[in-house]
Structure 1
Amino acid sequence: MAAGATRTEGTTGSAGRRWYPWLVFALSFSLLLSDYMSRQVLNVVFPLLKTEWALSDTQLGALGGVVALMVGVLTFPLSILCDRWGRVRSLGWMAAMWSLATLGCALATNFGEMFLARLCVGVGEAAYGSVGIALVLSVFPRHLRASLSAAFIAGGAFGSVLGMALGGLLSSHFGWRWAFAGMALFGLAVVALFRVCITETRVQAQRRALGEEEEVAAAPGRMTLRPLLAALFSAPSILCAYVGSALQLLVMSALLAWIPSFLSRYYGMATDRAGVTAAGLVVAGGAGMIACGTLTDRLARHVPARKWLVSITYSALCCALLAAAFRLPPSTAQLVLLAAGMLLVGGTAGPTSAMVANLTEPRIHGTAFATLTLANNLLGLAPGPFVTGMVSDHIGLLATLQLIPLAGLGATVVFAIGRRHYAADLQQLQRRREARAA
């Protein structure tokens, strides 16, 4: 294999440099699809697991939330290890781990075994988002990075769609175990292609062809711990960006986990139809994430502070639409309002990332984004499914889903507070830069 890689690298010319980045993007994006297919396929088989193993909604929510919990806890340390060990090699091993763990879900015979397998899925997926996008951006020119970032992040929504739609079809025809097995086999197939086609040597050659020097990985380490923590947490507006983003993603994660069960319980849909219908709603979420990010860039191009106002608008409208939807009886009107709310539920992801970038120095952007990911998972993605299931056991799923959009109202308030402090925090950052330059 090494010899073959050497021959390919030796023949790489300008044409190869043009298509190779897109091959990196395609395979990295495919692994991201596998990531979310393995993560979200569970949601569509909730009704089947609940019946077969007599599980409570709290237990079902725990199976969904443990993946995001592991991602939140392990993203930062594993990202550092991956940078040291090599991104290409690390991505291959991570994808292999979550795919094999998903296969373990197919073989589970009780809640405990399923929980352990899902925990391993989370460990495998923990650093993929940060390391995967770092690999993709490293082989493209700088002027394409914003659009590539948006497309890569939205891949999570489309992977969720595939996981729920295909999982619903497989479980309906062959049983819920084949839903997990199908996701695992897809992941392992992409891992094999990735390991054959993408090498660390080729990636470095592509960077040299772009005239890009390797960024100094130790830059964050040059800042001692105390000023680093101050840069990440002392500004009120950056704290508001972390918390507001997480609260909005709590709404999104709760809906991703429980919409298939909602459709099954209140619309009487079979597993396959509920999965496909839920997948359509998630498509709206992915498309809305891209559209909201593009619109934000247009509106805030000359006035960056508008990102806060746009985020306030997204979260407030989303809260209103979803709250109204869950107050309606099962109907076409309810599904239309749900789709409209899903268009906006992930709309703040792009603006909050930009806020964090604006409020931190470039040399610690990697650490800042890891901190944002930590907040998103621990405060939003992990508790969303679990809290929804726990409350549902006491008051019912519909009543719980009527309350969940209120987290978006909380995000609106937090963004409004952050907007008030934003200008002063930017001035403080500029003064620190000037003081260091002097």
Structure 2
Amino acid sequence: MSRPRLALAAEPATPALPAVAGARYAWLVFALTFALLLSDYMSRQVLNAVFPLLKAEWQLGDTELGALGGVVALMVGVLAIPLSLLADRWGRVRSLILMAALWSLATLGCAVADSFGQMFLARLCVGIGEAAYGSVGIAVVVSVFPRHLRASLSAAFIAGGAFGSVLGMGLGGVLSAHFGWRIAFAGIAGFGLVMVALYYLTISEHRLRGLQQRVGAANGDAAASARQLEPRRIVRELLTVPSMLCACAGSALQLLVMAALLGWLPSFLSRDYGMATGRAGVAAAMLVLMAGVGMVACGALTDRVARRVPARKWQMAIAYSVICCVLLMTAFRLPAGHAQLVLIGAGMLVVGGTAGPASAMVANLTRPAIHATAFATLTLINNLLGLAPGPFLTGVLADHIGLTGALQWIPLAGAAAALLFCLGRRHYAADLRRLDGHAVPHVIPA
């Protein structure tokens, strides 16, 4: 874990990785863990591409469609911490493989669903499989790279959610237009099962642990194991860090905006622009792709700006939230047309910009031994406050004031996110000192 005196000043140079072979394996771990994250979000978001088809075939309302989208995030939120605790103790590689296999098989179950109830049950199982993947996966990624890359790598990894959403909506829209919505689910499930097999054959628990130990020594991290800590003590340690909780809650409210757009952009384009299902899915996927690119760019920019003064990560998160709120609230109040789409695209570039800074804050404010559980806390709050209510709340509002009306108000969550980041920034120095165990001079730039 980085010390406050290091985190609040220019970080010392650390070796990229202990050896060339280790570096190659680290990037292989990142690539395959990222590929499984793509599968995760492809399975989650393919549903959005077929909303119009399910609505017509099963005569569903927008609230019911929103529930099908929100139940996955709800399960992720409820189960993230307990399953991450188990993964820290049982083995992260084995846990990742089991999770991915479950959500892929559940997505296959969506392909054979014959009613709303069956689809809801299958989607619930998708959520159970995905529950701890984000937290455990990012814990694996940050454990095999130097600490000064945390915001960039966290943002790049989390951006896999946007890229997976692009593939899920785009591929789902094309497959459903040509072969029906059942083939769309089956195709996404097949990709997931192939990635599970590759991960199982390539990544080993023993080799990963050895690389983590070498990188941890280079980073100056403590070698304590989560197996030595009681779950109650871990949770108590996490829930007494005000700045981390503010970072998690701010991240969640910003992700509420992103989840609403991921869930409803295909329907918005279909209704307001008269696009067919396939074309609306592809167009929405292009807008979501901008969100993924923006996540990576915002993470890299944050690392660059905060390299010598890490507290600036808070300022960057505040800026991303405010800019996104202004752009999207303006966009959805314009009439359908080129100007509206340009502003929506600009808003999508920063809608996920807080993901990298928030993840880096969580990593900096907790010990490496409990990183998976720390990221599970972030995942839980992200899902319960953001990803789960985003699509559902938008659906409820849409049933009362129309989909466009709902999307005009949802971006206000970004303003609330900015306020939480401001509050967290005030507690950051004290929380770092408490983690280190002794006072460290700290000055937050104006």
Fold conserved (TM > 0.5)? Answer: yes
1:174 to 165, 172, 179: 179
Number of equivalent positions = 419
The aligned amino acid for 2:380 is L
Distance between the aligned counterparts of 2:144 and 2:279, measured in 1?
A: 40
Confirm whether residue 233 of structure 1 aligns to residue 233 of structure 2.
no
Per the alignment, in what secondary structure is the counterpart of residue 404 of structure 1? Answer: helix
Confirm whether residue 343 of structure 1 aligns to residue 349 of structure 2.
yes
Does the CA-based 8 Å contact 1:219-1:364 persist in structure 2?
no
Does the CA-based 8 Å contact 1:293-1:347 persist in structure 2?
yes
1:100 to 100, 105, 113: 105
Matches within 5 A, 1:197-212: 197-204=202-209, 206=211
Per the alignment, in what secondary structure is the counterpart of residue 370 of structure 1? Answer: helix
Match of 1:266 in 2: 272
Aligned sequence identity (%): 69
Task: Tell me the CA shift for residue 144 of structure 1.
Answer: 5.4
Distance between the aligned counterparts of 2:399 and 2:183, measured in 1?
A: 28
Match of 2:412 in 1: 406
Task: Tell me the CA shift for residue 425 of structure 1.
Answer: 4.4
Does the CA-based 8 Å contact 2:89-2:227 persist in structure 1?
no
Structure 1 unaligned blocks of 5 or more:
1-13
Distance between the aligned counterparts of 1:87 and 1:429, measured in 2?
A: 25
Task: Tell me the CA shift for residue 272 of structure 1.
Answer: 1.1
Match of 2:11 in 1: none
Task: Tell me the CA shift for residue 175 of structure 1.
Answer: 0.7
Structure 2 unaligned blocks of 5 or more:
1-18, 441-446
The aligned amino acid for 2:51 is F
Distance between the aligned counterparts of 2:396 and 2:114, measured in 1?
A: 23
Per the alignment, in what secondary structure is the counterpart of residue 328 of structure 1? Answer: coil
Match of 2:192 in 1: 187
Does the CA-based 8 Å contact 2:321-2:351 persist in structure 1?
yes
Greater mean deviation of Cα atoms: 121-130 or 82-91: 82-91
Does the CA-based 8 Å contact 2:152-2:299 persist in structure 1?
no
Match of 2:229 in 1: 221
Distance between the aligned counterparts of 2:434 and 2:210, measured in 1?
A: 40
Task: Tell me the CA shift for residue 141 of structure 1.
Answer: 5.7
Alpha-carbon RMSD across the aligned residues, in angstroms, is 2.6
Confirm whether residue 355 of structure 1 aligns to residue 330 of structure 2.
no
> 1:354–1:91: structure 2 CA closer, same or farther, 3 Å change rule?
closer
Match of 2:5 in 1: none
Does the CA-based 8 Å contact 2:62-2:395 persist in structure 1?
yes
Greater relative CO (CA pairs within 8 A, separation 6+): 2
Does the CA-based 8 Å contact 1:220-1:367 persist in structure 2?
no
Does the CA-based 8 Å contact 1:220-1:364 persist in structure 2?
no
Deviations 1:15-69 (A, max 9, x none): 8655433333322221111111000000111111111101111110110011111
Confirm whether residue 24 of structure 1 aligns to residue 32 of structure 2.
no
Greater mean deviation of Cα atoms: 130-139 or 331-340: 130-139
Matches within 5 A, 1:315-354: 315-354=321-360
Matches within 5 A, 1:395-434: 395-427=401-433, 429=435, 432-433=437-438
Distance between the aligned counterparts of 1:338 and 1:399, measured in 2?
A: 15
> 1:308–1:207: structure 2 CA closer, same or farther, 3 Å change rule?
closer
The aligned amino acid for 2:225 is A
The aligned amino acid for 1:92 is I
> 1:21–1:116: structure 2 CA closer, same or farther, 3 Å change rule?
same
Match of 1:6 in 2: none
